[in-house]
Amino acid sequence: MKRRSFLQRAGLAAGAMASVTLPPLAWAQEKSKLKITGIRLVKTKEKNPLPKYTPSAGSWSTQGVEVANPVSIYPEYKPTRSLFQATNVDSFTVEVTTDKGITGLGQGGPGGGPIVTGHLAKLMMGRDPFDIERNWDICWRATMSYGRAGVVFNALSGFDNALWDIIGKALNLPVYDLIGGETKDRVPAYCTGNDIEHHVKFGYTKLKLAMPHGPASGREGMRENARLVERARKALGPDGEIMLDCWMAWTERYTIEMAEMLEPYRVYWMEEVLQPHDYEGFGRLNEAIKSTRIVTGEHEYGRYGFRRLLQVNGAQIWQPDLAWCGGLTELRKIGALASAYDIPVIPHAGGLNGASHFTIATVNAPWCELFMPPPGGPKQVYDMFEERYGITRGPEGIYMHPPREPGWGWYFESDGPI
Amino acid sequence: MSKMPTIKQVRAFTLRGGGADYHDQKGGHWIDDHIATPMSKYPQYRQSRQSFGINVLGTLVVEIEASDGTVGFSVTTGGEIGCWIVEKHLARFLEGACVTDIEKLWDQMFNATLYYGRKGVVINTISGVDLALWDLLAKVRGEPVHALLGGAVRDELVFYATGARPDLAKQMGFIGGKLPLHHGPAEREEGLRKNLELLGDMRQRVGDDFWLMYDCWMSLDVEYATRLANAAAEFDLKWIEEALPPDDYWGYAELRRNVPSGMLVTTGEHEATRWGFRMLLEMECCDILQPDVGWCGGITELLKISALADARGKLVVPHGSSVYSYHFVITRQNSPFAEFLMMAPQADKVVPMFSPQLLDEPVPVNGRMRASALDAPGFGVRLNPACDLHRPHTH
């Protein structure tokens, strides 16, 4: 349990201590024993892969469907998001190795990989991974001239997350036990995706729908959005919750009109209706709309970004992404800022990307976002999914629990360098 | 998968004589020598803070024993009432809980006492329990508390000294000296003149580059504080601290607009929780936040207060509190220096801040403290077995 015993078990204690003349304090002996010796991007493979299958015909999860987005105003990119999304600007996994054999994996966001290897590595090689605050601050300051958001934060997030993995493994504790322990026994999960009946049948009572249409689809698009919400309300009955993901696609006026149209279906939140730089617009909508909650945050970065959102009262719930917002170190600061204003934090994609460790350890983090394997698969695929995410059922539908293994307890492992 | 120990027993004790209740000193100490307070308007309470009961609480010692035998402890100001709250109310949440579950325990203690707590002695008590929990968790993990908070961001701490002798503090290597203000508005123009004369005298003794500050311990009003600050600019007063009663957020905002350009307004030692500090920040009350980790809600809450301040580019320089502050300050980029309270009666030498209650309590040498001085597990201190512990309540 203690690092000392871990290191002894690993047979590492004896050699390095030989040169110590006076017996220093236990911690002082051990502190220098972990040093970052390698930082590289890796491919990953699932430890226990879910079987491959072809989803049922008509499943939303095939991704060949229209989802409203900021590029929808251009007809050539409107049909699917894959038409405009980059093919070679990937999210990444970084592997940080130490001189004592403990290795951490961290996930970061699109385009961040080259910054990790091209800049952060130069700063971080040889450092103690336990110096979480200093390491983060050095990366933040050193990239300030071209960073502060976006790709550079995607990079910083992945690196920071890898350090937390190392610390958890060195201490033999899951990440949530490093940051305050369990504040709840399990985490209520909501499911994102438009295979509504499939998700309800599985047991979810909280659904987030991807809105197919925005202003580019006109009035008929609005009616189609409403029909989708109506379908979800029918499938859930009166008590479940419906959330809408609008992925930066709408406008202020459009949002107000949609909110009026959807009032009979009781929508719990409308997410990221505007583009992330329009802080004042989010603030005005939050004032104007009382029938639902205006929420956002997945494309916001760092404590300063969320402070800006806070100052205009831009969102009733914050949705930072662990792999984009600055990593766990920054997510905790964002969470603290939110807590002083009693704002819930429900990290983007939190059930999948490790942020459920934050959620279970944070009082003002009530739910996490989860997805589901598409319909049409063999029973085994859903059983394995339940096991991977620690799924249980209860009054709020589906619950999950972060992995109890040391570190993040990723379901994948390194498959060698990229 | 590891199995962390659970909490077996919580015990609360009182202790008299210095230490965490650092106002609880014998006669002839600078800390009780005609210092301006909110009670200074009553002549009979003007000469001594002990005369109105500043040391009435005494020290609260919280001990938390885990199922594996590890014991974490802390000291803060809280005395017998604190013991009662720990034993009769908070113990139920703690005993049986896992030593890692810091966040839930804080939330339960805070919410369970919301109807009679929120500030003051209840939060002092919760702070004491929280510090003992961090001490315990760090000892179970075999690490110093600062390693649990993100690790040291610098290799050493630098300190300013609070006490009656900034001139001696300069010789001892500190970066600044904070004087207690002696005279409040009730002593009218003569008192103001004396306040300025002392500052002027100290400025002459310490030269140009040494920081001088005034701690006003809630004793002034906006008008007096404004005049003091403007007149003190001549002697390059770096900051004016806790000039007003802590509930007067509006007064602080006004004072901050009134002080000369470059002079800082600081406060926070009698503020509690993220919600209290949110008020100070939103109303632009001050330039530096000075929470006391033993009074503001403990380390768990101080981390949140610090994040709140950091998002607004504000510094957090915790009030006093010895190792409990040192372990925090060294982990935070927006806490660039620390306070050292001079507990020698004449402020003429460095003695451990919480002496005689703690053993192994590190002190600055030449105004500095190496990070390695904080490397023993937990907060790295032991309760002095010579202390006369009293457990007034059990559960």
B123-143 pLDDT, tens digit each = 999 999 999 999 999 999 999
β-strand pairing of B368-370 with B156-162: antiparallel
CATH class of the structural domain B7-21+57-142: alpha beta
pLDDT at residue A18, as a whole number: 38
B255 three-class SS: helix
C-alpha A353/C-alpha A161 separation (Å) is 10
Closest among B277, B297, B213, B287 to B255, alpha carbons compared: B287
Sort out which chain B residues have CB atoms less than 8 A from A137's CB and list them.
Answer: 153, 333
Structure confidence at residue A19 (pLDDT): 38
Asked whether residue B269 is marked as a ligand-binding residue, the answer is yes
pLDDT at residue B2, rounded to an integer? 57
Q: Please write the tens of the pLDDT for every residue from A13-32.
A: 333 433 334 444 455 455 54
Number of H helices, E strands in chain A: 17, 12
Q: Which of A30, A31, A180 sits opposite B103 (nearest CB)?
A: A180
User: Please, where in chain B does CATH 3.30.390.10 lie?
Assistant: 7-21+57-142
Return the number of other C-beta atoms located less than 10 Å from residue A63's C-beta: 12
Q: What is the mean pLDDT of chain A?
A: 92
Q: What is the pLDDT of residue A7?
A: 41
Residue B280 and residue B267 in contact, taking contact as beta carbons nearer than 8 Å: yes
Tens of pLDDT along A325-377?
Answer: 999 999 999 999 999 999 999 999 999 999 999 999 999 999 999 999 999 99
Binning pLDDT at 50, 70 and 90, where does residue A88 land? Answer: confident
Contacts of B130 in chain A (CB under 8 A): none
What part of A 285-344 touches B (C-beta under 8 Å)?
A: 303-304, 306-307, 329, 332-337, 339-341
Per the CB < 8 Å rule, is A173 touching B154? no
Mean pLDDT, all residues of chain B:
96
Range B265-287 average pLDDT: 97
Number of helices (H), then strands (E), belonging to chain B: the values are 12, 14
Alpha carbon distance A369, A346 (integer Å)? 7
The pLDDT, as a whole number, for residue A22 is 44
pLDDT tens-digit series, residues A285-295: 999 999 999 99
pLDDT at residue B17, rounded to an integer:
86
pLDDT at A191: 98
Whether B333 and A137 lie within 8 Å, measured CB to CB: yes
pLDDT of A87 reads 85
How many Å lie between the alpha carbon of A4 and the closest alpha carbon of chain B? 8
pLDDT, residue A64, reads: 75
At A133, which helix (H) or strand (E)? Answer: helix A132-142
Report whether A108 contacts A157 (CB < 8 A).
Answer: yes
- Domains of chain A by range and CATH? 3-19+30-46+89-173 (3.30.390.10), 178-402 (3.20.20.120)
Tell me the Cα Rg of chain A: 22
* DSSP bridge pairs for A92: A108
pLDDT-derived band at B220 (thresholds 50, 70, 90) equals very high
C-alpha of B122 from chain center: 16
- pLDDT in the model for residue A58: 84
Contacts of A173 in chain B (CB under 8 A): 2, 4, 100
Q: Which residue of B has its CA nearest to A135?
A: B153
Cα separation, B233 vs B231, whole angstroms: 5
Helix (H) or strand (E) holding A46: strand A36-46
Task: Give A332's contacts in chain B (Cβ within 8 Å).
Answer: 303, 307
- Residue A404 to residue B312, Cβ atoms within 8 A: no
Known catalytic residue at B319:
yes
Provide the pLDDT for residue A23: 45
Q: Looking at residue B227, what is its pLDDT?
A: 98
Identify the CATH number of the domain defined by range B148-376: 3.20.20.120
Q: Do B311 and A332 touch (CB under 8 A)?
A: no
Instruction: Compute the nearest-CA separation of A380 from chain B (Å).
Output: 26
Q: Judged by CB atoms within 8 Å, which residues 116-175 of A form the interface with B?
A: 128, 130-134, 136-137, 171-174
Catalytic residue from among B270, B319, B393, B395: B319
- Strands A397-400 and A392-394 turn out to be antiparallel
Q: Name every chain A residue with its beta carbon within 8 A of the beta carbon of B307.
A: 303, 332-337
**Is B301 known to sit in a ligand binding site?**
no
Q: Give the pLDDT of residue A371.
A: 96
Question: What is the residue-wise DSSP string for B136-179?
Answer: HHHHHHTSBHHHHTT--SSSEEEEEEESS-HHHHHHTT-SEEEE
Task: Give the distance from residue A325's alpha carbon to the nearest chain B alpha carbon, in angstroms.
Answer: 14
Q: What ipTM was assigned to the predicted interfaces of this complex? A: 0.84
> Was B215 annotated as part of a binding site?
yes
- Asked if pLDDT for residue A242 goes beyond 80, the answer is yes
Cα dist from B86 to A347, B60, B129, whole Å? 35, 10, 8
Q: Which residue of B has its CA nearest to A310?
A: B311
Picking from A121, A203, A167, the residue whose alpha carbon sits closest to that of residue A357 is A167
CA angle B97, B100, B102 (to 5 degrees): 80
Q: How far apart are CA A132 and CA A170, in angstroms?
A: 14
**CA distances to A80, A110, A191, A278, A299 from A68, in Å:** 9, 20, 19, 18, 16
A107 CB-contact burial (10 Å; exposed 0-12 / middle 13-18 / buried 19+): buried
Nearest residue of A to residue B134, measured between CA atoms: A180
Tell me what the mean pLDDT of segment B349-366 comes to: 96
Q: Helix, strand, or coil here: A43?
A: strand
| Cβ within 8 Å, pair A26-B377 | yes
High-pLDDT (> 70) share of chain A, %: 92
pLDDT band at A10 (very low <50, low <70, confident <90, very high): very low
Q: How far is A46 from chain B (nearest CA, A)?
A: 20
Q: Which of A245 and B355 is assigned the larger pLDDT?
A: A245
Per-residue pLDDT band for A225 (boundaries 50, 70, 90) equals very high
Task: Spell out a b/e string for B215-229, using b for 16 or more CB atoms within 10 Å of the CB, else e.
Answer: bbbbbbebebbbbbb
Chain A / chain B CB contacts < 8 angstroms: 130
pLDDT tens-digit profile of B65-89?
999 999 999 999 999 999 999 999 9
Distance CA B377, CA B379 (A): 6
Residue B267 reports pLDDT greater than 50: yes
Residue A210 C-alpha from the chain's centroid: 17
B197 annotated binding-site participant? no
- Residues of B in Cβ contact (< 8 Å) with A4: 142
- pLDDT for res A60: 87
Q: Which structure tokens are listed for A30?
A: 């051990």
Task: Return the active site residues of A.
Answer: 348
Q: Do B4 and A133 touch (CB under 8 A)?
A: no
Reported as type and span, the H/E element at residue B366 is: none
Listed range (A57-71, A81-95, A220-234, A283-297) with the worst mean pLDDT: A57-71
Find, in chain B, the residue whose alpha carbon is nearest to that of A4: B142
Percent of chain B whose predicted confidence (pLDDT) is above 70: 99
Residue A14's pLDDT is 38
pLDDT, one tens digit per residue, over A175-191 is: 999 999 999 999 999 99
Whether residue A91 is predicted with pLDDT greater than 90 in this model: the reply is: yes
Helices A279-288, A252-262: axis angle to 10 degrees equals: 30
pLDDT tens-digit readout, A147-169: 999 999 999 999 999 999 999 99
CATH 3.20.20.120 in chain B is located at 148-376
Q: What are phi and psi of B375, to 5 degrees?
A: -100, 0
Residue A63 confidence (pLDDT): 65
